[in-house]
Amino acid sequence: MTTSFNAIICRYHEIAIKGHNRNMFEQKMVDNIRYLLRRIENIQVKKVRGRIWVQRKEMVPFSAADMTEIHDRMKMAFGLESYSPAIMTPPDIEALKDAVRSSAAPYFNAALAQNQTISFRIRASRSDKEFPMRSKDIEIALATLVGDIFDQDRLKINLDKAMVTVGCEVRREFAIIFYESFRCPGGLPVGSNSSVLALLSGGIDSPVACYMMMKRGCPVDYVTFHSSPYTPPETTDKVKKMGALLNEFQRPGKLFSCNLAEIQKAIRDNCRPDFRTVLYRRMMLRIAAKIAGNNGNRALLTGESVGQVASQTIINMGVINAATEMLILRPLVGIDKNETIRMAREIGTLDLSNVQVPDSCTVFAPSSPATAAPMFRVLEEEQKLGDWESIIDKIVTEAEVF
């Protein structure tokens, strides 16, 4: 037998959302939760003073399948700290006792099945000071009830550390009973900050970078570069799949797909081979900045991390950075690869990242790229390209949008 719940209580740190933006943050969170749980029929998400509540219309209990969906999706609710499945009742002690009677068995029996005696506690709080019982009295009443339902001799109360904790909150409008809290990712609700355009490669790093900025409240659109016909359609297909995967965390962002081949050929034919990677990257940023400008994104986002590859030395990053005035966010800049891999596994992007497809940047790549390309030399090389601006304008115009 499992307990059936008719509400989910969602908690967030009010401290994070203090000030005059508070309403906006809360409203975004409500919208986002509604979106995440959209596959549950008749879902309702409401906010009542410092808490967000999820219910189904007319308080219909959640099915087992609903609960699975809730556990799956609430992991993606940026801005929330935790949530608890709960039984919501009128604010009345008899109703609370009924709720405990109908819900406690799975928790207590599971613990009793494994132990001769078990510890439990009731933790009650009331925000409605007009409720006729104090928190302490509610705890005593419910603890006595638990003693009556289960074998008294095998139970003991432990207020500090208990195997079963029964939570109870009494408010003016309703009361709840709950047993467990599940962690959410924290951060800020997506949409509470400006949108950014991520350079998404399908590697391990850039999807993690997207996740990190969504978690700071930024909706993310994506741009990816391929070098058709030198890279196969699989290169873009993989990034499309990655975009779809990342879009599970937010209202879907757009994916722009650009063919870099023409500017790469110009670079191959006119410039020093060891500078190619840096030159490609500068062009990528310029194209990305133009798309971001047209699309209303306020910053670019990459998965760069210092020291990882030749293009990510501090000197080369500086030279690449200077190609645009737009803010470039690099949330992984100081993060070890192992840590990024761990995050990618947790987020669920690692397996897809590990699928090997040819990468746009490796097309015509030099065997030994420069690790410290001086700025003035890079500018000289770009001079040799002639009217590269028209080429990148054409690439922007011809970008495909998914």
Q: DSSP character for 254?
A: P
Residue 280 interacts with ligand ATP (CB under 6 A)? no
Binding flag, residue 199, ligand ATP (CB under 6 A): yes
Residue nearest to Mg ion (CB): 203
Q: Applying CB under 5 A, does 91 fall inside the site for Mg ion?
A: no
H or E, element range at 123: strand 118-126
Q: Enumerate residues 143-202 that contact Mg ion by CB under 5 A.
A: 201
Complex with Mg ion: residue 80 or 200, whichever CB lies closer: 200
Task: Give the integer Cα–Cα distance in Å for 97 and 93.
Answer: 6
Q: 211 or 225, CB closer to ligand ATP?
A: 225
Nearest Cα to Cα of residue 292 among 340, 325, 322: 325
The one segment of 10-18, 65-73, 202-210, 267-275 that binds ligand ATP by CB under 6 A: 202-210
List of long-range contacts for 314-320, beta carbons under 8 Å, 24+ apart: 315/371, 315/372, 315/373, 315/374, 316/278, 316/281, 316/370, 316/371, 316/372, 316/373, 318/375, 319/278, 319/282, 319/373, 319/374, 319/375, 319/378, 320/278, 320/281, 320/282, 320/285
Decide if residue 316 touches ligand ATP (CB under 6 A): no
- C-alpha 67/C-alpha 143 separation (Å) is 27
As a whole number of angstroms, the distance between CA 299 and CA 161 comes to 47
> Which residue in the set 203, 217, 243, 253 belongs to the binding site for ligand ATP (CB under 6 A)?
203
Out of 3, 32, 201, 250, point to the residue binding ligand ATP (CB under 6 A): 201
Given the rule CB under 6 A, which of 22-30, 53-61, 157-165, 297-305 is the region that contacts ligand ATP? Answer: 297-305
**Closer to Mg ion by Cβ: residue 201 or 297:** 201
Is the CB of residue 257 less than 8 Å from the CB of residue 200?
no
330, 332, 334, 335: CA torsion to nearest 10 = 180
Residues 279 and 272: their CA atoms lie apart, in Å, by 10
CB of 271 to ligand ATP, least distance (A): 18
Residue among 90, 96, 85, 111 at smallest CA distance from 144:
96
Among the listed residues 203, 207, 253, 331, the single contact to Mg ion using CB under 5 A = 203
Residue 76 interacting with ligand ATP (CB under 6 A): no
List of residues 6+ apart from 67 with CB closer than 8 A: 5, 85
Return the number of the residue (201 or 235) whose C-beta is nearest Mg ion: 201
- The pair of three-digit structure tokens given for residue 254, joined into one six-digit string: 């757009």
Q: Which does 313 bind (CB under 5 to 8 A by kind): Mg ion, ligand ATP, none?
A: none
Span from 108-116, 129-137, 358-366, 370-378 in contact with ligand ATP (CB under 6 A): 358-366
Q: Which is nearer to Mg ion, 67 or 204 (CB)?
A: 204
Cβ atoms 227, 260 nearer than 8 A? yes
**Residue from 84, 165, 311, 313 binding ligand ATP (CB under 6 A):** 311
Site string for ligand ATP, 204-223 (x = CB under 6 A): xxx-----------------
Instruction: Give the one entry of Mg ion, ligand ATP, none that residue 167 binds, where binding means its C-beta sits below a cut-off of 5 to 8 angstroms depending on kind.
Output: none
Contact set with ligand ATP (CB under 6 A): 199-201, 203-206, 224-225, 302-304, 308-309, 311, 359-361
